[in-house]
Chains A and B, each alone.
Chain A
């Protein structure tokens, strides 16, 4: 059961999860830009993620590159199926990525790059959510090639998952700001954290209730033993995370709400994994069918096993170097 293909599915899942939680909070900062109108606040917000955003986005490249290497058929079918959302996501990421630097390089047009930062972040998040919804609802694959239409990805369900991801990222961003800032900015991000927390949990609920009715497999997975055990546990765990967010915000804890918000994402992600297994593209390709030849899996696995822990160590070190609150006043000399 624990063969190379399954191990790789786990590693890819880990990379995607790492991407979602890490780039999630920095995309969230962009999504929240309209709620913070002062230039000084926005400077603090971007400065809180400037040293780490590039590393966060690298997990997305690992997800894409890894998929090409170990599940080439998935890469070659899912990306054409999601052609438009992927292209829009990439264009969104371009705007937000350069905005970090560009908004400092001009006075007159700085507000334009702030708009670009907000729009780019929001579009990227929305498209990621839509892509997720499109994969969950199913992709038409015939003879290892995408065989669906150009607008298959656009449904009420995928738009809902898109909005859910935008709101969820906003929650991550708001709790990150609660961790990294102080004073009025922190106060405001606390209120936004509460609102987006309610929104996120509502949307998780909607999507979770909707998913089993999309397709029989999901229904059986969620309401049969032993996975039903987990599906009954999930609402409880979600409720615990929500409580920890709320309690942390009320009692002026800085790290706890952020970690609990990450917990919401981890739980949702595990839920998805349980729904999908043993498929990698639900209903179309199983992990085993889609895997590259053993020599490819093994060759890259050696590197992944050695390097991913090292990457986690130095990434952790980079976060540690830039730990603590951002002080807005020292920025203006």
Chain B
């Protein structure tokens, strides 16, 4: 009774499920950590309580998100071994040290200063607290750097040799870390995290503006978010274009799948929409703009673009998922651009806080970054198939010696637990976001484990008290 599901397919589903769920949290916490650092910096600089209360408002949300990111991330660090033992064995010597550096330079940094960031303002003073907030933000970025280097190496392997047993052996660490797709992927992913946060913050700001257009905190966060949307979206579109060109150079089969091209053509059209027909190897019902596909990818009207048929059948990725996921990502990107431009126009007209239609659209766009990020990852990761290390190691060779029932059982357990735990977590996050951000709210938000700072006297007070009691 395996319903045709092999251990390999189940293990892939498990990885896709756990990593997608996991990435939702860092995609948000990378941006939020930097946002918090900016808010705290502005509070210390301008001493405007609006920034402090926004810091407290988003701090709690960050803490809940971060906790979910940590526990779902630990799963990832062990899943390579449980389900993908052959991959770990053969590629571990190359990617393992990069992950080791991620732990040493990022995870410990974040964990070590997170406590001080969340609970320690009164204990260590403003300056050290600001330092801790900045270090946590830096840690999230360092973490992204290493893990994207690992991921990029799996797409565009470099700097390795292969020994007699078929294991990858590192030859040149510089080439491994700075493999050809890494700079593009890093920029694209970090900007995506910033945009995800910007639209989430903008959506929350819009929600509160719709209820009370005079709320200063809501105005401040909405304004900051819309600046980000207006400035970062065009940068992201440019970065995405460069990333696409890089993919065309190193993984042309993936581009063919993303674009829905089966035939190799000079002056290929841009397929706006269609339904991939993998049996007859063509696009059904496709809507195309002539020549524009070549224009985008080669920056020439009659540039040559290889179609899927140019690649051996056993080296082609599936078409449907990259094709549709790519369109979802790009579509959302264009919507983000539209919102960013609209906000600039509203700002120019002096109507940023009064334009209720803009607020409603921004509210609808609140989850857009998450959808785009997951769609982007599906595009690139499914597009890498049928390989784990592109062109060198097949997914089918990467599996642990596990049986389908074992993988199926653990997959079921993960699905149940993730929906239960993280579903509840998202509910709590929405409730935290729904609270009206007021200036005196920071007392209210001190509830929870965050209270530790309030419970304990700071070092100075503690000393005074000890002296007073004559114990010192």
Contacts and interface: CB of A to CB of B under 8 A. Distances in A.
B81 A76 contact: yes
Contacts of B90: 72
A283 interface: no
B68 A98 contact: yes
B70 interface: yes
Contacts of A289: none
Interface string A266-303: 00000000000000000000000000110110011001
A66 B100 contact: yes
A239 interface: no
A50 B447 CA distance: 13
A97 to B, nearest CB: 4
A327 B113 CA distance: 23
Given A98-B425, A100-B449, A62 B462 contact: no
Contact of A51 (B89, B95, B101, B120): B120
A259 interface: no
Contacts of A58: 103, 107-108, 111
Contacts of A300: 96-97, 100-101
B107 A61 contact: yes
B99 A102 contact: no
B401 A146 contact: yes
B115 interface: yes
B286 interface: no
Interface string B397-430: 0001111001000100110010001001100100
Contacts of B328: none
A304 B101 CA distance: 8
Interface string A113-154: 000000000000000000000000000000011110010000
Given A315-B108, A318-B116, A80 B74 contact: no
Contacts of B66: 54
Given A47-B452, A94-B75, A105-B448, A80 B82 contact: yes
Contacts of A327: 455-457
Given A90-B78, A296-B97, A47 B88 contact: no
B237 interface: no
Contact of B81 (A52, A75, A144, A315): A75
Nearest to B68: A98
A73 B166 CA distance: 13
A76 B92 contact: yes
Contact of B71 (A69, A98, A293): A98
B103 A47 contact: no
Of the listed residues A55, A72, A86, the one surrounded by the most CB atoms of chain B closer than 10 A to its CB is A72
Interface string A165-176: 000000000000
Interface string B442-455: 00000111111011
Contacts of B406: 83-84, 150
Contact of B421 (A54, A77, A98, A293): A98
A278 to B, nearest CB: 21
Given A55-B108, A303-B101, A318-B112, A80 B403 contact: no
Interface string B72-96: 1111011011100110111111111
Contacts of B110: 54
A47 B96 contact: no
A79 interface: yes
A66 B102 CA distance: 11
A326 B450 CA distance: 13
A303 B105 contact: yes
A145 B71 contact: no
A106 B103 CA distance: 32
Nearest to B424: A102
Interface in B152-180: 163, 167, 169-171, 173
Interface in A61-119: 61-62, 64-70, 72-73, 75-80, 83-84, 86-87, 90-91, 93-95, 97-98, 100-102, 104-106
B112 A72 contact: no
B377 interface: no
A122 B66 CA distance: 23
A104 B448 contact: yes
Nearest to B115: A51
A205 interface: no
Contacts of A295: 169-171, 173
A73 B454 CA distance: 48
Given A64-B77, A69-B100, A94 B421 contact: yes
Instruction: Determine the main DSSP class of B at the interface with A.
Output: helix
Nearest to B422: A98
B85 A308 contact: no
B176 to A, nearest CB: 9
A101 B67 CA distance: 8
Of the listed residues B71, B421, B424, B462, the one surrounded by the most CB atoms of chain A closer than 10 A to its CB is B71
B112 A83 contact: no
Contacts of B173: 295, 299
A37 B170 CA distance: 54
A80 B402 contact: yes
B81 A100 contact: no
A311 B112 contact: yes
A65 B428 contact: no
Contacts of B447: 104
B123 interface: yes
B64 interface: yes
A97 B101 contact: no
Nearest to A64: B77
Nearest to B451: A331
A322 interface: yes
Contacts of B417: 91, 94-95
Contacts of B400: 76, 79-80, 83, 146
A292 B96 contact: yes
Of the listed residues A60, A84, A104, the one surrounded by the most CB atoms of chain B closer than 10 A to its CB is A104
Given A61-B107, A93-B71, A299-B170, A51 B92 contact: no
A241 to B, nearest CB: 29
B112 A65 contact: no
Contacts of B325: none
Given A87-B410, A147-B401, A315-B108, 20 more contacts: A54-B110, A62-B100, A62-B103, A67-B81, A68-B92, A75-B89, A76-B89, A79-B81, A86-B81, A97-B70, A101-B448, A102-B428, A145-B89, A317-B112, A321-B115, A322-B115, A322-B119, A322-B452, A326-B452, A327-B456
14 contacts: A51-B119, A62-B100, A64-B81, A76-B81, A79-B85, A83-B406, A90-B75, A95-B417, A97-B70, A98-B68, A98-B421, A146-B401, A300-B100, A311-B112
